[in-house]
Chain A
Amino acid sequence: MIIDVSNLVKRYNDFLAIDHMSLQIKDGEIFGLLGPNGAGKTTLTKTLLGLCKYDSGSIKLFGSELIESEKKIKERIGLVPQDIAIYDELTAIENVQLFGKLYGLSGSQLKAGVKEALEFTGLYKLKDKSPSQFSGGMKRRLNIACAIVHKPDLLIMDEPTVGIDPQSRNYILESVNKLNKQGCTIIYISHYMEEVAAICSQIAIVDKGRIIAQGTKEELAKLIEGDQVLLITVQSVDFSTIEKLEKVPMVKDITLNHNQIRIISSDSVINQVMNLLISNDVQINKIVTNSPSLEDVFLTLTGRALREESN
């Protein structure tokens, strides 16, 4: 077990940021942490890395308490922070070199690590350029290069693909898989469900400081097995109609995103919903039925749309 969190509690004054959370991450996993803002993901990461104290519970990393051998543990961890945290005044290679030194590398080990990290992120040819000349995606890749220069056993990636182009996103996702195949355990924190679903072998859904569900993508989908998802695109709809839809039997959850109504129900409710919309003079443009996705699982479990809250 690389990470063993047991009964962790962290409070900010009266606010309970982590509520008796327990979490185990095995060696070699890509572990996805899903949750909206304020769910406790960042606090959990900070606590894991010793950036903030916790009130009770225990954290074991690589079998040891963080406080016991912090330096040794930190040498084995890489962090890719959500905000790009590199020095704009240094070139790409100088950035990676500095982080390599700060992780304790020197000499030929440092030289090899720097070259490998830059090649891995596709930035070796641009090594002498300043990050200020980079695109957002290239900066994100440099952000990653600085975290993997010392070949960590555990890499924590906090929203590594926020605000970048699809090409860079694909590059990063491929890189995550490659790193994992090289033996690196990865904690991937994101609110992009499709990314988490695509690359993570284990997924934990976090809400209000608790893990409300955990398992593989398939295991999580089973939690709402038999449920149906109805996507109805309408011309316009008022909230009183939505309230009426919520009262339709077997409807578990309803969200309205722009002009699209998303209904999760335990059985087919299409007839009742259609009748209700027509009787309320709602003009229907499109109807689609789906089997539940990871997002639907989240929606059902938390009653909240993930991306809306995160953005």
Chain B
Amino acid sequence: MSIFISIVLTSIKRNIRDRKNVIFLLLFPILLTFILGNALSSVDVGNEAAASLHTKLALVNQDDNGMVSKQYEQFLKSKEIKDIVTTRPISTINNARIQLKQENVDAIVYIPKGFSYAIENGKSKQMQVIVSGNTEGDIIKDLTESFLSRVKSHVVLAEMGKHVIDTQMPPIIYDHPLKVSGKLPKAIDYYAVTMLIMIIMYSANLGKGLVANFHYSSLGSRIRTLPIHPMKFFLGQAVGELLTVAAQIVILIFFFKFAFHANLGDHMTHLILTCFLLGLITILIGIAFSLWFNPHAADRILNIQIPILTFLAGGYVKLPDSNTLLNFLQNIMPNALAQSIIFQDIYGRHNAQGIHELINLFICLVVIFIIVIVGLRRKKYGSFCK
């Protein structure tokens, strides 16, 4: 076994055997999530948000009783949708636009003439959704997209010559409900994500400990007298810490999903990779702080910044979206970015916004990586003999 792998494995072994560490890495977030999720279930974030939503839709249906548009109207009348969407039929698109401008409605859905006929004959036809840009409008857009994705599958079938649409419209809504209620976050769903993010942020302590142990402890001094390149040892330990965090993330995600039945969405790989990316960034943040500040200062800064960043990201309580400064901060805070990416992935919102946030997260990674590299060079980890 190469010496590098030995260092990595030793690092993981030490983390696993350290009881305090295990309690902090696993038991603490599980307990905290359980307590917050249950204690705040009556005032939970998602239902509160849902309760405050009065999404108003202007439906301009010019499809002349077409089958697909009828299905869409039925879809809007279903109990789950009626709870959150009030539909107002409007005859013309111009009138609907006036209503949208006057903020009487949050979105317009325009079904053009011949829409169902086109679909039934396997042809492409657009159904238009015009939104006001607020959260309520997004909901209409997402719901309609979900409906249309089902319709699209029938278009494909029709194109393949299987004109199922002609014979019977499958139970788009009733047999396959869109699980709208399931997609609204309960307290446990919300805190499973935010606490996961917060606990990943604490990985910064592992990064900080890495430098502190290597640079300021007697064990670190001893290691530096050995015939191994300091950078090789340091990197081996860093990889070990990263793998520990990765294992922690996977265990917590599975625990939250299967023990707490928290809704963590259907894209486990996305979730794990996003968390892993955040873990990497936070370990690097811990390393950077320890390289650029003395150990006590780094300790203090890290311990203060984690709860503050968690609060600003809405980790403890959901914060209003309207604050410009807060929005700006959330666009550069790695925890807020990762949290937003995960929520968008779970609740199926804007892909474009998610990609934008993912890019921002990668920019954070690059920036912090550069700071760490400069710090390591400053501390002369790159040279064998100091």
Answer yes or no: B293 CB below 8 A from chain A CBs. Answer: no
Contact A85:B224 (CB < 8 A) given known A66-B385, A102-B3:
no
Check if A70 sits within 8 Å of B385, measured CB to CB. Answer: yes
**What is the distance, in angstroms, from A171's C-beta to the closest C-beta of chain B?**
21
**What is the distance, in angstroms, from B370's C-beta to the closest C-beta of chain A?**
27
Q: Which of B218, B227, B228, B384: most chain A Cβ within 10 A? A: B227
State the CA gap A98–B13 with chains docked (Å): 12
Interface residues on B, range: 20 to 34
Q: Mark B231-268, 1 if CB is under 8 A from A, else 0.
A: 00100000000000000000000000000000000000
Answer yes or no: B10 CB below 8 A from chain A CBs. Answer: yes
State the CA gap A50–B226 with chains docked (Å): 10
State the CA gap A103–B228 with chains docked (Å): 7
Quick one: which of B107-146 are within 8 Å of A by CB? Answer: none
Check if A85 sits within 8 Å of B219, measured CB to CB. Answer: yes
Answer yes or no: B77 CB below 8 A from chain A CBs. Answer: no
Q: Please, which residues of chain B bring their CB within 8 A of the CB of A99? A: 226
Q: Please, which residues of chain B bring their CB within 8 A of the CB of A46? A: 221
Q: Please, which residues of chain A bring their CB within 8 A of the CB of B224? A: 51
Q: Please, which residues of chain B bring their CB within 8 A of the CB of A67? A: 385
Check if A49 sits within 8 Å of B219, measured CB to CB. Answer: no
Residue in contact with B225 in the complex, picked from A77, A83, A87, CB distance below 8 Å:
A77
Check if B222 sits within 8 Å of A85, measured CB to CB. Answer: yes
Q: Please, which residues of chain B bring their CB within 8 A of the CB of A79? A: 222, 225
Residue in contact with B227 in the complex, picked from A81, A84, A104, CB distance below 8 Å:
A104
Check if B226 sits within 8 Å of A74, measured CB to CB. Answer: yes
State the CA gap A89–B13 with chains docked (Å): 8
Check if A71 sits within 8 Å of B384, measured CB to CB. Answer: yes
Answer yes or no: A181 CB below 8 A from chain B CBs. Answer: no
Quick one: which of A35-91 are within 8 Å of B by CB? Answer: 46, 49-53, 66-67, 70-72, 74-75, 77, 79, 81-87, 89-90
State the CA gap A277–B63 with chains docked (Å): 122
Partner-B contacts on A (CB < 8 A): 46, 49-53, 66-67, 70-72, 74-75, 77, 79, 81-87, 89-90, 94, 98-99, 101-104
Subset of 27 A-B contacts with CB under 8 Å: A46-B221, A49-B225, A50-B385, A50-B386, A51-B225, A52-B386, A53-B386, A66-B385, A67-B385, A70-B227, A70-B384, A70-B385, A74-B226, A75-B227, A81-B221, A85-B218, A85-B221, A87-B10, A87-B219, A98-B6, A99-B226, A102-B226, A102-B227, A102-B228, A102-B233, A103-B226, A103-B227
Known interface pairs A74-B227, A90-B13, A102-B223; 9 further A-B residue pairs with C-beta atoms within 8 A, sorted by A's residue number: A50-B225, A50-B385, A79-B225, A81-B222, A85-B217, A85-B219, A98-B6, A101-B6, A103-B227
Closest 6 CB pairs of A and B: A83-B218, A74-B227, A89-B14, A85-B222, A89-B17, A85-B219
